[in-house]
Amino acid sequence: MAFIPHTSADVESMLATIGVSSIEQLFDEIPASLRVKSLDGVPVALNEMQIGRLMSERARADGHPLCFIGAGAYEHHIPAAVWAVTTRGEFYSAYTPYQAEASQGTLQLIYEYQTMMASLTGMEVSNASLYDGASAVAEASLMAVRANRKSKSLRILVPRTVNPQYRRVAVATAGNQGLRFEDVPFATDGGVISLDALKKFEGEDITALVIQQPNFFGQLEDVDALTDWAHAHGIFVIASVNPTSLALLKPPGEWGTTGKGADIVVGEGQPLGVPLSSGGPYFGFMTTRMEYVRQMPGRIVGRTVDLSGREGFTLTLQAREQHIRRAKATSNICTNQGLLVTAATIYMSVMGPVGLERTAAASHARAQELVSALTAVKGVRRAFAGPFFHEAVVLFDRPVAPILASLASRGILGGLDLSELYPELGYAVLVCATETKTTSDIQSYVTALGEASAAVRAA
């Protein structure tokens, strides 16, 4: 029996204690008409050896192509120590730290994580994480509505340079509470938010503006000008940022020229020690200023003292959360991505500030090398001018899908086809390279591209 330890002697003894003659009798309160007859749709049990073999076969079938896709999930080297320690049973199988005395390991780790994220983003306080980067934008929008007392409109500006899936998730999550997410177009030469396009919102009641840095195209936005503009018009700034890039780029807490910085910062934490894993589990981070801490959703850990005056850690500000405020909660969120936060905290500790900076710089260098190599190929050019970080949009001179398919058959995932998300860009691909790619890898891509193009032309 899978993971059930009882012997028949155990069962007999327990039934006798209870005073029933069979386990079935314990279900006698349930109407007979409701009882399951059979579960034929579930296959018979596999033992561990058999399931191990099946999973290995399936993994082998998926293989390990060379991946040049970014678009919100980034391949970085993860030191072995990160998951060796994270999968220790005491972290892996621990519960939410509600009984603080039995959870000081998890609680202290989260406190350390909060410290690191606040500093990385240039803000004053962090929560213990949210589900992922996409839902974090939704939560930040809801938070902006609560915190921006001057605005009543519930209108959130989401430029088209923000990850389109983030916008979809925000609409699906917060649309039912009356929030409206509005487009802002991008300037076609630079692939960044157009300040001109923002002008039409001046004088209107807007609650928040989302600024993604680097943006979905990998381009760098003029965050100071955008932040100043938003604040001048009473609009909250929600920054959605890549954490690795923050080792090189100015953190949102320092955006703008008035000393105020972004109001709420969110992002996808996956690049910090979390494997690609087909899209999850990841974690979303959220940081803000102390004046808004009570509006922040999710769990927060605080340091305090115990009855003997000894230092200890505990969940705090829980009165905001669902289990106390019920219908008035700031959100219904009940979880934080504990295991991923553990991995990220260990990753940031092992890499340290220098390691993270080197990773960012190497990724930047490899991406530039990739773009140079690709644009040296006939028929391939950059879509946008201006600086980019670790990914960029390149344009082909013919439809992208057959080329990418042909590359894939040669073991190379060349990038993300943008023709559905941004048809106005034409034959566009979002390509990415991180520190995990070598010059030789990039050369393989170029060679395969030559073969793929020839194959497509011949077809």
Question: Which residue, 201 or 388, has its beta carbon nearer to other proteins?
Answer: 388
Question: Which residue, 213 or 453, has its beta carbon nearer to other proteins?
Answer: 213
Least distance between other proteins and beta carbon 200 (Å): 26
Among 185, 387, 402, 426, indicate the residue that binds other proteins (CB under 8 A): 387
| Tokens coding 439 | 């010059």
111 Cβ contact partners less than 8 Å away, ≥ 6 residues apart:
301, 302, 303, 313
Q: Which stretch binds other proteins (CB under 8 A): 173-181, 188-196, 197-205, 373-381?
A: 173-181
Least distance between other proteins and beta carbon 321 (Å): 8
Counting every residue written for the chain, the total comes to: 459
Q: How many whole angstroms separate alpha carbon 182 and alpha carbon 374?
A: 35
Cα 250–chain centre separation? 20
Question: Which residue, 103 or 453, has its beta carbon nearer to other proteins?
Answer: 103
Q: Which stretch binds other proteins (CB under 8 A): 198-206, 232-240, 327-335, 441-449?
A: 327-335
Phi, psi of 384 (to 5 degrees): -125, 150
Query: CB of 320 within 8 A of CB of 329?
Result: yes
Cα 427–chain centre separation? 27
Q: How many whole angstroms separate alpha carbon 92 and alpha carbon 102?
A: 15
Least distance between other proteins and beta carbon 210 (Å): 14
Distances from the Cα of 216 to the Cα of 76, 126, 186, angstroms: 18, 24, 11
Among 206, 247, 262, 431, indicate the residue that binds other proteins (CB under 8 A): 247
With binding defined as CB under 8 A, does residue 439 bind other proteins?
no
451 Cβ contact partners less than 8 Å away, ≥ 6 residues apart:
406, 410
Burial of 309 from C-beta contacts in 10 A (0-12 / 13-18 / 19+): exposed
With binding defined as CB under 8 A, does residue 182 bind other proteins?
no
With binding defined as CB under 8 A, does residue 1 bind other proteins?
yes
With binding defined as CB under 8 A, does residue 406 bind other proteins?
no
Among 187, 197, 350, 421, indicate the residue that binds other proteins (CB under 8 A): 350
Instruction: Count residues near other proteins (CB under 8 A).
Output: 206
Among 192, 236, 238, 254, indicate the residue that binds other proteins (CB under 8 A): 254
Query: CB of 158 within 8 A of CB of 215?
Result: no
The DSSP string of 130-174 is: BS-HHHHHHHHHHHHHHH-TT--S-EEEEETTS-HHHHHHHHHHH
Question: Which residue, 365 or 454, has its beta carbon nearer to other proteins?
Answer: 365
Tokens 């579930």 locate to 42
Question: Which residue, 401 or 454, has its beta carbon nearer to other proteins?
Answer: 401
- DSSP letter for 365, please: H
Among 187, 197, 248, 373, indicate the residue that binds other proteins (CB under 8 A): 248
Question: Which residue, 204 or 385, has its beta carbon nearer to other proteins?
Answer: 385
Provide the 3-class DSSP secondary structure of residue 279: helix
Among 234, 352, 379, 450, indicate the residue that binds other proteins (CB under 8 A): 352
Among 58, 150, 200, 378, indicate the residue that binds other proteins (CB under 8 A): 58
With binding defined as CB under 8 A, does residue 114 bind other proteins?
yes
Among 187, 197, 373, 405, indicate the residue that binds other proteins (CB under 8 A): 405
Strands 264-268 and 284-288: antiparallel
Query: CB of 125 within 8 A of CB of 269?
Result: no
With binding defined as CB under 8 A, does residue 63 bind other proteins?
yes
With binding defined as CB under 8 A, does residue 322 bind other proteins?
yes
Least distance between other proteins and beta carbon 43 (Å): 6
With binding defined as CB under 8 A, does residue 187 bind other proteins?
no
With binding defined as CB under 8 A, does residue 128 bind other proteins?
yes
With binding defined as CB under 8 A, does residue 192 bind other proteins?
no
Binders of other proteins among residues 279 to 318 (CB under 8 A) are 279-283, 290, 293-294, 299-308, 310-314, 316-318
Provide the 3-class DSSP secondary structure of residue 339: helix
Binders of other proteins among residues 37 to 56 (CB under 8 A) are 38-48, 51-52, 54-56
With binding defined as CB under 8 A, does residue 238 bind other proteins?
no
Query: CB of 271 within 8 A of CB of 155?
Result: no
Site track for other proteins across 66-105, x = CB under 8 A: -x-x-xxx-x-x-x-x-xxx-xxxxxxxxxxx-xxxxxxx
Amino acid at 78: I
Strands 428-432 and 391-395: antiparallel
Amino acid at 440: S
Q: How many whole angstroms separate alpha carbon 130 and alpha carbon 285?
A: 6
Least distance between other proteins and beta carbon 407 (Å): 10
Q: Which stretch binds other proteins (CB under 8 A): 17-25, 234-242, 421-429, 451-459?
A: 17-25
